[in-house]
Each structure stands twice: as structure tokens, then as C-alpha cells.
A and B are shown apart, each in its own frame.
Chain A
Amino acid sequence: GAVVSQHPSWVICKSGTSVKIECRSLDFQATTMFWYRQFPKQSLMLMATSNEGSKATYEQGVEKDKFLINHASLTLSTLTVTSAHPEDSSFYICSASPKSEGASGYTFGSGTRLTVV
């Protein structure tokens, strides 16, 4: 089946620095990828839709200048948390679906635990 790889699985960074998280579709091409954020004991909150070759679409309330998304190829999307602060500490998860499966075939990455100190 479709596999989505997310890297790193966990990262600790200092306040004010930037962190990049990668999301790769290993065996399929993904024109669209989604980025979610999850706080402890809470559900997944969609942050943005990453579109290959074009600008990402951000959900209401998500700061696009803080959470930079780049989808430069059909197999890679990156989320960069800029000038990170402790309140950005969270679990970030990406998902993608093979074009052949459309909206019924989303696979999730294993997630990235970000801790800002």
C-alpha cells in the first residue's frame, strides 16, 4: 500500500530557531498533501493543504508566515516552523493520497514531535 514517510520523528529546538519537517510519498506521486497539528489528548487540526507547484492553502487562524510550506516535487512537501516558540510545541502529522485513490486513500506519516525550549 501507499506509504508516507515523515522526518524527523522528533526534534528539540531552541526558542527563536527554525525547524523543517519533511513529508515524502515513497511509492506514489502526491499532488496534494495535508499538514495537521495535534495537541496532547486532542484531535487533529488541519493546518494547510500543500499543492505541488503552487502556494499552500492555509486554514483560518494559521499563520502562513510562521508555518512555511513548500511542495516542490510530487513526492515531497516540507513544513518549516519559523522562529519557533514554546507554544509551537506539538505533534505535526502529514498525509497524502495516491491520485488513483483520490479522497478515499489518505495515508498518514508517523508524525513529528516538536519541542521548543
Chain B
Amino acid sequence: AQSVTQLGSHVSVSEGALVLLRCNYSSSVPPYLFWYVQYPNQGLQLLLKYTTGATLVKGINGFEAEFKKSETSFHLTKPSAHMSDAAEYFCAVSDLGQGGKLIFGQGTELSVKP
């Protein structure tokens, strides 16, 4: 069965600092991987996704993630944090063998200090 582990339930950075949110996955087949952002009382917004091809994926709002098969990781980064980046971030893997349903990590709350 596929699973996702996000290291760190809460990450705090200063405005302008590097953002690094960690995600490791477990999958017996080549996975589809996703990062979503959620603001309070809202649904999920897709930041970026990896399906096939280039392992460095660029998303919205300056975020990017790199698929590293050897490390089973898909960490999310942003060079310079902005106050508006403060939110909950979820890493997910698509269970292609189960109709494509998404398996989510536990989430990481990102705080940005002025």
C-alpha cells in the first residue's frame, strides 16, 4: 500500500528565508506525487505535481519540488518565504491501483515570521 510521510508537523521560517517542507513516500509502482496548500476553512489548491518526465517540477507562487526516486522523496522548496505563504501544506500520492485516489500526508503547518 502507498503511504506518505511529512517530516515536521510545523515549520517556522522568517520572511525572505528558504522554505523546505519534507515529504517521503512509499509506493510499489511509479507514483504520481502532489503538493497542495490549504488556507483556513478552504479547500485544497494544487501547488505542483509530478507524473512523469522532468524530476524538478515548478509550481505556482514560486514553489518547486524535486522527485528523487532513490530517496523516495518529493520535498517542497521556495527560495524566499512571503508572509502570504503561511498555510497548511499537504503532500499526496495517487494510488493508481485504487482508481487514483489520493493518499495524504499528515500535513505541515508553515508559519512565516516578519
The residue in chain B whose Cβ has the minimal distance to the Cβ of A9 is B41
Complexed CA–CA distance, A72 and B109 (Å): 37
**Which residues 40-54 of B sit at the A interface, judged by CB distance below 8 A?**
41-46, 49, 51
Indicate if B63 sits at the interface (CB-CB under 8 A).
no
B41 touches A91 (CB 8 A): yes
- Chain A residue numbers with a CB within 8 Å of B102 are 34, 44, 46, 95, 106
Q: Is the CB of B42 within 8 A of A43?
A: no
Q: How far is the CA of A44 from the CA of B107 in the complex (A)?
A: 9
Check: A69 CB closer than 8 A to any chain B CB.
Answer: no
Overall SS of chain B's interface: strand
Tell me the bound Cα distance from A113 to B40 in angstroms.
11
A107 touches B107 (CB 8 A): no
Partner of B41 from the list A34, A95, A113 (CB cut-off 8 Å) is A113
How near does chain B come to A39, taking the closest CB pair, in angstroms? 11
Known A-B contacts A91-B41, A110-B43, A111-B42; A42 and B100 likewise in contact (beta carbons under 8 Å): no
A93, A103, A113: the one within 8 Å of B44 (CB): A93
Residue of A nearest to B9 (CB): A41
